[in-house]
Chains A and B, each alone.
Chain A
Amino acid sequence: MSRLHIELPGLQLKNPIMPASGCFGFGREYSQFYELDQLGAIMVKATTEKPRFGNPTPRVAETTSGMLNAIGLQNPGLEKVMNEELPWLSQYDVPIIANVAGSTIDDYVAVAKRISTASNVHALELNISCPNVKEGGLAFGTVPETAYEVTKAVKDVSDVPVYVKLSPNVTDIVQIAKVVESAGADGLTMINTLLGMRIDLKTGKPILANGAGGLSGPAIKPVAIRMIHQVSQQVSIPIIGMGGVQTAEDVIEYFLAGASAVAVGTANFVDPFTCPTIIESLPVLLDELGVNHISELTGRSWKKEWNLQSSSH
């Protein structure tokens, strides 16, 4: 068995690296650069029941070591994703994690029910954390009761395991994590973007047409690491970590914090080869660290038995 192979609910991953939702479209653009089969999985663009145009432009603004986006869940809608995007992706031997979004619980249920039947969709990522839409999104992910309700409703109809994507824009992320676990979530993905804003000095107004947007990129990595470190000690479901991952070293840090797999978001925009480069670099890094299998690293930053082991080395 490969030292990068990971088994998670619904997912047999060749390696723990996957592009994050919203940063990879449905894979077509990146397939011009490399074979998508190399990836552990692909988290495809959020899908809503009806097509969405999204927010007005400008939709992105750069920040120090990061970027703000307010795309607004633009996507072609469930029908087209089922009939065109997922069948196109099925030419590749790679599990798809379908990101499910909506404005109401009924929306989420409708998308989850249908998209979970696609043969290459091996898991759902329940998007209750998008900061860029007026209804739904973040509103579901910041209130424990609604987070519970939507998770349970989606679990009831999904044919595949459900991972819930958590928002960092909360006072107590552990509380939300526990609540969705109790609602039946099979795993967590974290973190979505942090709410932020930039203002144009010339106009005196926000750069993004939407005003605020979601902050991503290396700037948010320490926030994600801290939150995964906290949450992974309090839940027993696996975590797919994300936020500012650019290198194999970043991936190791996520595992040490408590992640079982890692997604790459903004870095795809900077270097389209980020995912394959990380996958190639990981075994070398594991050798350097004296680690046989990458999964041994999950949670080492807080596991007591690891303290004992490391002191006996």
Chain B
Amino acid sequence: MRQIKAELVSQTKIASSIFEAIVYHEAIDDHFQPGQFVHVKAGMGSNPLLRRPISICHVDPEKHLLTMIYRAEGKGTRLLSEMVPGGEIDLLGPLGQGFPVGNLGAGDTAWLVGGGIGVPPLYYLSQELTKRGVTVKHVHGFQTEAVVFYEEKFKAFGPVTITTADGSYGEEGFVTNQLNHDVDYLFACGPTPMLRALESFPAKKGVYLSLEQRMGCGIGACLACVCHVQGDETGLAYRKVCSDGPVFQAGEVVL
């Protein structure tokens, strides 16, 4: 983990309010793992004040490039979306614990399930799993057609099913209706209700969920993003989403 002043290489609007930013810095290397995130300072000065946690969508360790996909909805992300190539982006990272890629190998099968802006970290995960010989299948849920992104990109690694809540694209309804149970692993990132629905999914070897929470420092100091631990009767045990997560094995924390 370190502070990096990265150079914005490209910035592309890839769906309604959804932007893909690629940044360069020589410190961007294979320490950046799928499921981790970077904490990004948006704009100069103190408004907005805090950093924005943005998931790692892709890393090219040889070219030292990091891809981030984010939704421009608040002041900070809107400022970020207005930046042009050549600009400097101050980020802390890589932060948090990512997906346990190393546990999987050739012959394993995995569902990758994303919801909305929870889809991006699954891209790097899918690439790394495929490299290890894992068979991956994707189900990605979005609100509506206008916010669907990266469908073709994911197809390079395995089949992709898109669902939309309003039925305007792909299958109508939620991701949970599209999954069959015969799989070794399930990895998911998206809104909490979606994660809750997948918490007890009967994958043979493991279910891993990437959580979202409002953060302060992003490094485990401020205790803004804590969650309870399942089965803890004292009510005192906790995990920090930013530094113990954001990826947890299903059943570890209370969603």
Would A269 and B217 be within 8 Å (CB), given that A53-B236, A74-B223, A74-B226 are in contact?
A: yes
| 5 extra A-B contacts, CB within 8 A, seeds A23-B222, A67-B50 | A33-B3, A53-B235, A65-B47, A65-B49, A74-B238
Residue B197 is within 8 A (CB to CB) of chain A in the complex: no
**CA–CA, A62 to B224, complex, Å?**
12
Q: Min CB distance, B151 to chain A, in Å? A: 28
Q: Let me know if B219 and A29 touch, CB within 8 A.
A: yes
| Contact between B236 and A51, CB atoms less than 8 A apart | yes
Known: A25-B221, A54-B223, A266-B49. A61 touches B214 (CB 8 A): yes
- Tell me the nearest residue of chain B to A29, going by C-beta: B221
Q: Check A217–B222 contact: CB distance below 8 A.
A: no
Question: Do A54 and B222 have beta carbons less than 8 Å apart?
Answer: no
Which of B50, B226, B228, B238 lies in contact with A269, CB distance below 8 A? B50
Residue of A nearest to B74 (CB): A62
Tell me the B43-78 residues at the A interface (CB within 8 Å): 46-51
Question: Which residues from chain B sit less than 8 Å from chain A, CB to CB?
Answer: 1-3, 41, 46-51, 92, 213-228, 235-236, 238, 243
Measured CB to CB, the closest approach of chain B to A199, in angstroms, equals: 15
Known: A30-B221, A272-B3. A62 touches B238 (CB 8 A): no
- Residues of chain A with a CB closer than 8 A to B48's CB: 62
User: Do A269 and B216 touch across chains, with their CB atoms under 8 A apart?
Assistant: yes
CA distance A51 to B237 in the complex (A): 10
Residues of B within 8 A of A33 (CB): 2-3
Contact B49 A62 (CB under 8 A): yes
Return the contact of A60 from the options B41, B47, B214 (Cβ within 8 A).
Answer: B214
For A24, the closest partner residue in chain B by CB is: B221
Q: Are B220 and A60 in contact (CB under 8 A)?
A: no
CB–CB A270/B51 < 8 A:
yes
B76 closest partner in A (C-beta): A62
Chain A residue at smallest Cβ distance from B218: A269
In the complex, chain B residues whose CB is within 8 Å of the CB of A218: 46, 49
Q: Using Cβ atoms and an 8 Å threshold, which residues of chain B touch A59? A: 214, 223-226
Would you give the shortest CB distance from A54 to chain B, in whole angstroms? Answer: 7
A23 CA to B221 CA, complexed, in Å: 7
What residues of chain B lie closer than 8 Å to A53, measured between beta carbons?
226, 228, 235-236, 238
Complex formed: what's the CA distance from A180 to B48 in Å?
37
A64 is an interface residue with CB less than 8 A from chain B: yes
What 0/1 pattern do residues 209 to 233 of A give for CB contact below 8 A with B? 0000000011000000000000000
Q: In the docked arrangement, what's the CA distance between A266 and B46, Å? A: 11
In contact, B225 and A57 (Cβ under 8 angstroms): yes
CB nearest neighbor in B for A19: B221
